[in-house]
């Protein structure tokens, strides 16, 4: 069975709790449960993780080199700052899908430059949890194409 890493960066654990509604009303545990269920339907094992720490995310990306066929990543605030995360992603061979709950291009200019995009196969943004689920479906297709 294929393995996929889904990494979530700083403050993602607060989704659903922020009053502005920027990231929708689903809590992080609800988002995780929905992604786990979708991955099971798609027939792969999902390693869904969150950290507020850049180095931990780098360690998990490196771990994925040994154990995973694809990576989905919402690096959150680190998207715009982390060359370390970019370099770790560039060392990963499989498909990488960058995810954002919100439409980052509709927001402040400092959210318009993503280091993660330099390594990403594709990007899903602005569709909330629906985008995460679409990203998982796309990942299943990309892995199947790679195996064909």
Query: Has 113 been annotated as catalytic?
Result: no
Of residues 4 through 63, those in contact with ligand DHK by CB under 6 A are: 11
- Smallest distance, ligand DHK to C-beta of residue 74, A: 5
H helices, E strands: number in the chain:
4, 5
Q: What are phi and psi of 114, to 5 degrees?
A: -110, 120
Cα dihedral 28, 33, 35, 37, rounded to 10, equals -170
Catalytic, 47? Answer no
* Phi and psi angles of residue 115, each rounded to the nearest 5 degrees, phi first: -70, -35
Comparing CB distances to ligand DHK, the nearer of 74 and 82 is 74
Tell me the per-residue interface mask from 128 to 147 with ligand DHK, x by CB under 6 A, - otherwise: --------------------
Our CB check for ligand DHK shows the closer of 101 and 136 to be 101
Query: Which of 104, 124, 136, 139 contacts ligand DHK by CB under 6 A?
Result: 104
DSSP-derived secondary structure for 38-83: HHHHHT-EEEEEE-S-HHHHHHHHHHHHHH-SEEEEE-GGGGGT-H
- Catalytic residue ranges: 23, 100
Q: Return residues touching ligand DHK (CB under 6 A).
A: 11, 74, 76-77, 100-102, 104, 111
């Amino acid at each position: 069975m294929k393995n996929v890493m889904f990494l979530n960066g700083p403050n993602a654990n607060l989704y659903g709790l922020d009053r502005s509604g920027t990231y929708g009303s689903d809590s992080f545990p609800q988002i995780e449960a929905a992604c786990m269920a979708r991955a099971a339907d798609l027939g792969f094992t999902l390693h869904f993780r969150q950290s507020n720490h850049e180095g931990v995310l780098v360690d998990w990306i490196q771990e994925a080199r040994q154990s995973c066929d694809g990576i989905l990543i919402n690096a959150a605030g680190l998207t715009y700052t982390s060359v370390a995360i970019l370099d770790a992603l560039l060392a990963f061979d499989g498909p990488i899908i960058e995810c954002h709950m919100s439409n980052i291009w509709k927001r402040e200019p400092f959210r318009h430059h993503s280091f993660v995009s330099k390594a990403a196969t594709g990007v899903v943004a602005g569709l909330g949890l629906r985008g995460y689920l679409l990203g998982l479906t796309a990942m299943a297709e990309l892995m199947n194409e790679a195996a064909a």
